[in-house]
Amino acid sequence: MSLRRSFPLVVLVAFLALAAPWASRAQQQQQGAGGATDVWMNVTGGGTKKLNIAVPEFTIVSGTDSTGMGKLIASVTGGDLTFSGLFSVVAGTGAIPANNPALLEQSWREFAAAGAHAGLHGLLALRGDRLEGEMRLYDLVTPEHRLIATKKFELPNGQARRLAHKIADEVVLQFTGEQGIADTKIAYVLGPRGAKEITIADYDGAGPAPVTRNGSINLTPVWSPDARSLAYTSYKQGYPDLYRTFPFERRPDQTLAAFIGINTSPAFSPDGKSLALTLSKDGNPEIYVLTLATGTMRRLTRNAGIDTEPTWSPTGRQLAFISDRNGAPNVFVMDAEGTSVRQLTSGGFHTQPRWSPKGDSLVYTVRQSVHDLWIVNVDGSNPRRLTNGTGDSEGATWAPNGRHLAFQSNRTGRWQIFAMLVDGSAPEPITRGPGEATSPSWSPRLP
């Protein structure tokens, strides 16, 4: 199963429209005036304007590339750029020789003739325990194939894929004004019912590694805003309690909540200081906010029905949640003090709301004959379906840039994690290994 797909050639009109601001951006950057708000490409949806970028094999400038790292990194970076929905990758065979301006220029001429608008030349130095990478970004639209950006990265040896992701994120930054999301992880639940463990993998599904190994039932991992920890529900002590684990550190789990009843549905506040959660200790499932530094618990909902699945607005001033107080579960919104409650969606079996990182919309799951993902504006207007009823699609999680969603679907016959653009286009499988993968949580950009 390939994560990648083919793209049509971008029409000339599109690239001419892009060329001018792109050139001026490079000048701005040289003057140190490159603004983060400048947007040079359409980044709001599936879009039609794709930039053709040449990503030849990286050039080895030091050390011996016995494992084909130059090829791997170009492939991974190219995959990231394709995934972004902004680029169409033009690949070449063989690496451009080091320190040979004439051959470099000849390569760019050939790539430009093949339709490339930009060229990414990567240079790799393999120095024992260190991996040094440099990206050089060229404008192939200008006749002189001008160098528009360079950046160096240094990582421990063995992190070739991460280097590739960082370079891809930098390329996206150069063209859109916003860093890409390739240097992120996805946490999810792996395993059949009754034996579910938390796993994390790169955002593209590579390198899955177990986080829990307790042989119990572990559910709903959720990243903290610093991408250093996950909150999750586990039955490892017999009851559904909430824990926090630190997957990149040798550090024991913390118990966050272990009251009588359910301790579920963790959601870190955007500042990382609080955790919204669901407890039933006071009689039925209600939403609380735990202040992590002090352990103080504040109750937000008071209702005889089920209130659960809190999700914070990016400002931290509001929470959405689901409640069956008026019948079937629907999405509600309240402020962070639990007041000003309003019903956002109606009529449905609506669960799993997740507030978008930009704050303007919420994605949620609608159960009809199957489960599908829908999105609604924050004022409740324009609810629209994102998935098309092919199997069930549930449990969406936002990429940190708000352009992609990951979710679980059984459309291929078993539960796997998929990703798509926020307009519902380009769904692709993320997990490819054996077993049932559910309940994804997309990490913030890694520290």
Partner 1 sequence: MLTRCSHLAFSLLLVAAVALSGCAKRPATTQAAAPAPTGAATSTAAAPAGGSQQMQSGEGTRGGTATPAPTTTARPAVQDFASVADLTDVFFDFDKYDIRPTDAKTLDANASWLKSNPNHLVLIEGHCDERGTNEYNLALGERRAKSTMNYLVSQGVQANRITIISYGEERPQCTEHTESCWAKNRRAHFLVKPR
Q: Which of 35, 45, 97, 210 binds partner 1 (CB under 8 A)?
A: 210
Spatial neighbors of 221 by CB under 8 A, at least 6 apart, are 187, 188, 189, 198, 200, 211, 230, 231, 232, 439, 441
Residue 269 or 280: the one with the smaller Cβ distance to partner 1 is: 280
Region of 119-127, 207-215, 332-340, 380-388 interacting with partner 1 (CB under 8 A)? 207-215
Residue 254 or 315: the one with the smaller Cβ distance to partner 1 is: 254
Residue 23 or 297: the one with the smaller Cβ distance to partner 1 is: 297
Instruction: Answer yes or no whether residue 75 interacts with partner 1 by CB under 8 A.
Output: yes
Instruction: Answer yes or no whether residue 3 interacts with partner 1 by CB under 8 A.
Output: yes
CA pair distance 279, 241, nearest whole angstrom: 9
> Which residue in the block uniquely carries the two structure tokens 């024991």?
252
3-state secondary structure of 445: coil
Q: What is the nearest approach in angstroms of partner 1 to the Cβ of residue 327?
A: 9
- For the record, the structure tokens of 77 come out as 């970076």
Instruction: Answer yes or no whether residue 129 interacts with partner 1 by CB under 8 A.
Output: no
384-385/371-377 β-pairing: antiparallel
Strand partners, 320: 311, 333
Residue 32 or 113: the one with the smaller Cβ distance to partner 1 is: 113
Binding mask 396-435 for partner 1 (x = CB under 8 A): ----------------------------------------
Strand partners, 303: none
CA pair distance 391, 37, nearest whole angstrom: 39
Residue 117 or 162: the one with the smaller Cβ distance to partner 1 is: 162
CA pair distance 354, 363, nearest whole angstrom: 5
Instruction: Answer yes or no whether residue 381 interacts with partner 1 by CB under 8 A.
Output: no
Q: What is the nearest approach in angstroms of partner 1 to the Cβ of residue 263?
A: 9
Q: What is the nearest approach in angstroms of partner 1 to the Cβ of residue 37?
A: 31
The neighbour count for residue 159, using CB atoms within 10 Å, is: 15
Q: Which of 23, 114, 173, 341 binds partner 1 (CB under 8 A)?
A: 114
List the beta strands (DSSP E) in 313-391: 318-323, 330-335, 342-343, 350-355, 361-367, 371-377, 384-385
> Which residue in the block uniquely carries the two structure tokens 């994605």?
363
Instruction: Answer yes or no whether residue 240 interacts with partner 1 by CB under 8 A.
Output: yes
Strand partners, 181: none
3-state secondary structure of 74: helix
Binding mask 83-112 for partner 1 (x = CB under 8 A): ------xxxxxx---------------xx-
Q: Which of 228, 239, 380, 423 binds partner 1 (CB under 8 A)?
A: 239
Instruction: Answer yes or no whether residue 281 interacts with partner 1 by CB under 8 A.
Output: yes
Q: Which of 4, 152, 317, 414 binds partner 1 (CB under 8 A)?
A: 4
Q: What is the nearest approach in angstroms of partner 1 to the Cβ of residue 209?
A: 4
Binding mask 241-260 for partner 1 (x = CB under 8 A): --x-x-xxxxxxxxxxxxxx
Residue 170 or 392: the one with the smaller Cβ distance to partner 1 is: 392
Instruction: Answer yes or no whether residue 153 interacts with partner 1 by CB under 8 A.
Output: no
CB-based burial label for 194 (10 Å; 0-12, 13-18, 19+): exposed
Cβ atoms of 405 and 157 within 8 Å: the answer is no
